[in-house]
Amino acid sequence: MLPDVVTEKLKSLPPAPGCYLFKDKKGEVVYVGKAKSLRSRVRSYFQEGSSDNRYFIPVLLKTIGDFDTIVVVSEKEAAILENQLIKEHRPRYNVKLRDDKDYLCLRIGMEHPWPRLTPVRGRTMKKDGGRYFGPYHSATAARRTLHLINKHFQLRTCSDSELENRRRPCLQYQIKRCPAPCVYEVDPNWYASQVRAVAMFIEGRHDELSDELESQMSDAAKTMRFELAAVYRDQLRAIESVRESQRVVSIDQVDRDVIGFHREGDLAEIALLHVRGGKLQDVGTYSVKQAEVPDEELVAAFLGQHYGDVAGAGGGDAGASDVASRAPSEILVPVLPEGHAGIAEWLSDGKGSKVTIAKPQRGARVRLLAMAADNAKHAFLEKKRTNDDVEERLKKLQEILRLPTLPRRIECCDISHLGGADTVGAIVAVKDGAPDKKHYRTFHVKNVQHTAGDDYNAMYEVLARRFRRGREARDALAEKAVIDEASSEMNLVPPPGAASPRRPPPNRAASRRSGGGEEDESYWELPDLFVVDGGRGQLGVALAAAHDLGLHDLPIVSLAKEKENVLGETLVDRVYLPGQKNPIALRTHSSSLFFLARARDEAHRFSNRAREKLGKKKRFKSALDDIRGIGPATRKALLDALGTVNAIRDADDATLLAISGVSKRQVAALRAGLGHPEPPAIPEAPAPTLEQS
């Protein structure tokens, strides 16, 4: 049975283009879609015998509590609005190609007299006078292009502030990669020609660029400027090396992107072929999980998310040339999605020229689609093979260590100090063999008077703090599950707009805020396996910290380097298990050791980094930092006016109050923290002479 509010709204739907937002009974948006006719499209979800075969439709109909519609003028506006609403609400049932990052692009800051090329994320793109190139399917591809350009085209790489404040040229000038406009006189016209060459190189206009460089190299050689001619020669070689890696796939010179996909169940892989001037420049692949939608919607979601920033960055005028390399003239798709004409119109407005979305039926373009599908299938199988390999290695590790569950989440602890000072404990997390940096943590050891060789007490303090928060998080999650189950049994669903049932205040473990601003108890959730760096002694400390908090079922092992060669390379690692006298020896190349060694090495690196950061902070610390009521602005004003902490301490109250921003309360805080100025010494009276007597 549908809610009454849904039934009433279905009767008054307009036959106009627009977007619709389905909400659950808690009022959260769970699905966003667009339609040429809102009346026909939205009603089709609730008709008996509907042909809609999406897996989530039955679940959606059971959980729907309300829906909203937004009417627009055209299909183009519906496509734009749908893309914005998906980014804003991040609905549960819409296709998500990535987590929370936009694609990486390259930007040339044309607003500066000496432009430079920098990587930026898609969401930061705007009509700010710069030129944008991309998006790139991976950060590696973008940075590879950036490295190639910095190597062969002489544009500055320093920031604007470094450019203005530098007094001597940097290393880039010494290795002939920058003309050093920060220090020397540089011809603006020549620098502008380098900027133009970079833009042509990224856009794939290699033939045109090669002709220009050959002409410039010949002119430089005729005028005896051989160093400049060598620069043009190296740039020509860079272009030739890129050309050799490109494959001719079509006869015509049309710039096009070709989309292919391969799916098995709710897992899908999308391949994007970038064809420029008839040559295959690059291939990008994208994974989609929980793809419980038809192929048409999968393609539509990719078009909206991948090219959405293109239309947002461009305009009909200023941004047209900036998005030329990102929005090709033609996009080939395996299936035509609903509303593809509106998406094409939207992209055409962003590009400044016509963009066509087509599904070819015959000829060379069909072979391009087949090539894209083959790339998608190959990437899918490769990633699946990698995942299967990880699963197999984790099962082997579980068997060797006799663990109750598969150790998908592994945490490792390491203690770092410098001669007994600046003691820091670091805990890193590894999930399915990959670093999970969102769950990295550092602990400054406070309650232990640490001396060299006394790592045990420091480790106990760090692990006790970590395990205590893990226990509180476990209790909070269990309490939350009980409340949710009780609410479900009593059918306590609040009406729209009503406040949710009150719950007990969250534990300290839940104080960590998630990205959405809600309490995230899972941040301190205990791992499947905890590893400590060290031998039997460190294992005993970790077990004591866990058992003292009642965590008797937490799997804990220690990993120690037991044997090294003359080069310092580890040959054998030994794993110490609780209740087992003899450790387990694992060779360095053992697949079972991979996850443990990776966690151990990452914990060592992260703890050293945290210790160096703490030491640097202490070395640059001022006596003013610990005075309550003296903020950064006041500290800067005091030091600018008086120069040193001793001068601040010796200054009288009138001098301190004369400094801008310093109040009487802050003067009192300074006196309490630094002390009062010493009274001036009274000179001794000279002894009386005989004549004076």
Averaged pLDDT score across all residues of the chain = 78
Closest CA to 19 of 37, 44, 6, 4: 37
Shared fold status for 4-89 and 409-493+519-613: no
Identify any residues that bridge with 64 across adjacent strands, giving them in sequence order: 24
* Least confident segment among 422-431, 441-450, 503-512, 525-534: 503-512
- What Å distances lie between residue 247 and 140, 190, 242, 251, 275, CA to CA? 21, 33, 10, 12, 9
State the DSSP code for 253: -
Helix axes 188-203, 226-245, angle to 10 degrees: 10
- Compare 611 and 270 and report the one with higher pLDDT: 270
* pLDDT tops 50 at residue 598: yes
pLDDT tens column, 45-63: 887 655 555 656 777 777 8
How open is the CA angle 197-198-203, to the nearest 5 degrees? 100
Q: What fold does the segment set 4-89 form as a domain?
A: GIY-YIG endonuclease (3.40.1440)
Q: With 90 as the cut, is the pLDDT of residue 543 above it?
A: yes
- What homologous superfamily does CATH list for 409-493+519-613? UvrC, RNAse H endonuclease domain (3.30.420.340)
Structural domain boundaries in the chain: 4-89, 104-203, 256-381, 409-493+519-613, 623-674
Which residue type is seen at 164?
Answer: E
**Does pLDDT of 599 surpass 80?**
yes
b/e sequence 179-201, b meaning 16+ C-beta within 10 Å: bbbbeeebeeeebeebbebbbbb
Comparing 128-142, 428-442, 643-657, the range with the smallest average pLDDT is: 128-142
Q: Is the pLDDT of residue 411 over 90?
A: yes
Convert the pLDDT of each residue in 198-211 to its tens digit.
Answer: 888 887 777 788 88
Do 262 and 376 form a contact (C-beta atoms < 8 A)?
Answer: yes
Q: What percent of the chain has pLDDT over 90?
A: 8
Copy the structure tokens of residue 135. Answer: 């998006």
Q: What is the DSSP string of 271-292?
A: EEEEEETTEEEEEEEEEESS--
User: Average pLDDT, stretch 252-263?
Assistant: 85
Task: Note the pLDDT of residue 487.
Answer: 62
What is the tens place of the pLDDT at every residue in 277-331? 777 777 888 888 777 677 888 888 888 877 765 444 443 333 333 333 367 889 9
Kind and range of the H or E run holding 331 = strand 330-332
pTM: 0.53
Which one has a higher pLDDT value, 223 or 130?
223
3-state secondary structure of 389: helix
Concatenated DSSP letters of 54-65:
-TTHHHHHHHEE
Closest CA to 256 of 272, 275, 270, 271: 275
Q: For domain 256-381, which CATH number applies: 1.10.10, 3.40.50, 3.30.420, 1.20.120? A: 3.30.420
Rounded percentage of the chain residues whose pLDDT exceeds 70: 79
Give the per-residue pLDDT at 548.
92
Predicted local distance difference test score (pLDDT) of residue 99: 43
Where residue 448 falls among pLDDT bands split at 50, 70, 90? Answer: low
* Residue 515, pLDDT score: 40
Helix or strand (DSSP H, E) at 388:
helix 364-401
pLDDT, one tens digit per residue, over 59-91 is 777 788 888 899 988 888 888 888 888 888 888
Whether the CB-CB separation of 266 and 289 falls below 8 Å is answered with yes
Structure-model confidence comparison of residues 680 and 271, the more confident one:
271
> Per-residue pLDDT tens for 344-403?
888 888 777 888 899 988 888 888 898 889 888 888 887 777 677 788 888 888 988 889
Which is nearest to 68 in space by CA: 118, 100, 44, 33?
Answer: 33
Q: What is the pLDDT of residue 499?
A: 47
Structure tokens at 8: 């009433």
CA distance 176 to 415: 44
Give the model's pLDDT for residue 518: 40
**Under 8 Å between Cβ of 178 and 155:** yes
Q: pLDDT tens across 102-119, in order?
A: 567 788 888 888 988 888
Tell me the two tokens of residue 117. 């090329």
Average pLDDT (325-344) is 82
Cα–Cα separations (whole angstroms), residue 522 to 342, 432, 487, 510:
42, 17, 21, 8
Secondary structure of residue 87 in the 3-state scheme: helix
Above 60 in pLDDT, residue 138? yes
Q: Using CA atoms, how far apart are residues 335 and 597, in angstroms rounded to an integer?
A: 46
More confident residue, 496 or 264: 264
CB 269 within 8 A of CB 377: yes
Query: d(Cα 414, Cα 422) in Å, to the nearest integer?
Result: 14
C-alpha 379/C-alpha 486 separation (Å) is 45
